Structure 1
Amino acid sequence: EARLAAVNADAGWVFKKGAIDFAGGTVVHINAGIAGLVGALIVGKRIGYGKDLMAPHSLTMSMIGASLLWVGWFGFNAGSNLEASGGAALAMTNSFVATAAAALSWMFAEWMLKGHPSVLGVISGAVAGLVAVTPAAGYAGPMGAIVLGLVVGVVCLFFVTTVKNALGYDDSLDVFGVHCIGGIIGAIGTGILVNPALGGTGIMDYTTGKIADYEFGVQLVSQTWGVCTTLVWSGVGSAILYKVVDVIVGLRINVESEREGLDLTEHTERAYNM
């Protein structure tokens, strides 16, 4: 009982609801994703969005950035174990295989839908895999992490193409379709893959000091508490903050400045001398 009291004394509300999240899928990805969507809706679309071609500025730089992200994510996920033990090795392994699986599933799904694979698709899938495995990294088994990656690659592709086009919001870097949706899939998936019968680690019961019996329905309800709390807290909070900033300094520049480009009008700098 002393151990339980010590755990609960500093525990957060969502933790007490029984939600598990190894490296921050809710507090980082769902949080950022819903805040980004709210921002995109409040700020509005870029001039020419949906009419002009807005291709990525540099696929080479995108590839470099995604590669750096994948490497850095090992520190993020494995480091969340807080000690160099088998738990860190598991988190590192899961972070690799889920990401690879998601990159492949996005690539093959895009290949089937559009008739060709793309570098942008592969790195988008990799980021979706990294996002989804973040809450699951220390809880799932490697095979579970691979399945999670295969699922999230296809679902996030659907959201950044079909759903975004249908709803028409301007999310330039797909933070909602990749991070928020990927984070939700990861959070819910963690509640499934933690099951020892599926190769997961199980969940520690601090009252007994042992791994608790896994209950599917109970754990999914707990995970849903975490997801919904984050969506509401971050979504509503962000909307208020955007409005406050809009009143104080404004969220958009004028049309002329936007057409000329923010590098020049806001920073008086030019990235390239052509």
Structure 2
Amino acid sequence: MAANLRAAMACTVTNLAASVGGLTWMLWDYRIEHKWSTVGFCSGAIAGLVDITPGSGFVGAPAAVLFGFMAGTIRNFATQLKFIFASHAVSGVVGNVLTGLFAQASVAGFDGITDIPGWLDHNYIQLGYQLADSIAALSYSFVMTTIILYIMHYIPFLRMRGSEEAEIMGLDEYDMGGVCV
């Protein structure tokens, strides 16, 4: 909440990672489909933003370029899993791990208080903290989502599954009268 050099660095690396992520994703799409994609650029920018979020205020500009490149590359290929999962879960974990590697005491110390170095500053335990944080967040999200969906199953009109008739006909056809793109 302070207007200091650390906040300025956080703004810089956030914009840098988003830009590099967008360009990287767009270039991967061009390599595969031989056309430029605005949606690809936006997807890469979002992946870059998610990737840099844990490291914003802890890493410098060169690391932000790597964060963006990793976001655009890994998430572009991870979209074969599921898009939201690839853009947010995978980006969050990769960004968290990269923060453990590239956090710099000099950048974190721009506010005059914080001293959180990463792996490259010989604080090797920080990577373990970041991995534990990722595992805890994924576990919590999985357990809470499972509980919420279990409760929803027993509340009328909140079930996530369609009727047997709708599944046979196809959910798009049954719900909207046609195929959605």
Same fold (TM over 0.5): yes
1:119 partner letter: T
Q: RMSD value over aligned CA atoms?
A: 2.4
Map 1:62-73; keep pairs closer than 5 Å. none
Residues 95 and 134, structure 1, Cα contact 8 Å, conserved in 2: yes
Partner of 1:52: none
What is the rounded CA distance, in whole Å, between the counterparts of 1:231 and 1:203 in structure 2?
A: 29
Higher RCO (CA-CA < 8 Å; seq separation 6+): 1
Within the candidate set 168, 173, 180, 2:89 is matched to 180
1:86 aligns with 2:15: no
Partner of 2:98: 189
What is the rounded CA distance, in whole Å, between the counterparts of 2:109 and 2:6 in structure 1?
A: 13
1:219 aligns with 2:126: yes
Within the candidate set 173, 177, 180, 1:259 is matched to 173
Q: 1:248 to 1:219 in 2, by over 3 A?
A: same
Find the residue that maps to 2:57 and give its secondary structure: coil
Residues 103 and 116, structure 2, Cα contact 8 Å, conserved in 1: no
Residues 194 and 203, structure 1, Cα contact 8 Å, conserved in 2: no
Find the residue that maps to 2:2 and give its secondary structure: coil
The normalised TM-score by structure 2 is: 0.81
Runs of 5+ unmatched residues, structure 2: none
Find the residue that maps to 1:201 and give its secondary structure: helix
Partner of 1:102: 21
Q: 1:119 to 1:220 in 2, by over 3 A?
A: same
**Equivalent pairs: percent with the same residue?**
25
The normalised TM-score by structure 1 is: 0.55
Map 1:31-46; keep pairs closer than 5 Å. none
Runs of 5+ unmatched residues, structure 1: 1-81, 165-170, 265-274
Matched residue count: 165
Partner of 1:125: 44
Within the candidate set 218, 240, 244, 2:147 is matched to 240
Residues 102 and 128, structure 1, Cα contact 8 Å, conserved in 2: yes
1:217 deviation in Å?
A: 2.8
What is the rounded CA distance, in whole Å, between the counterparts of 2:76 and 2:69 in structure 1?
A: 11
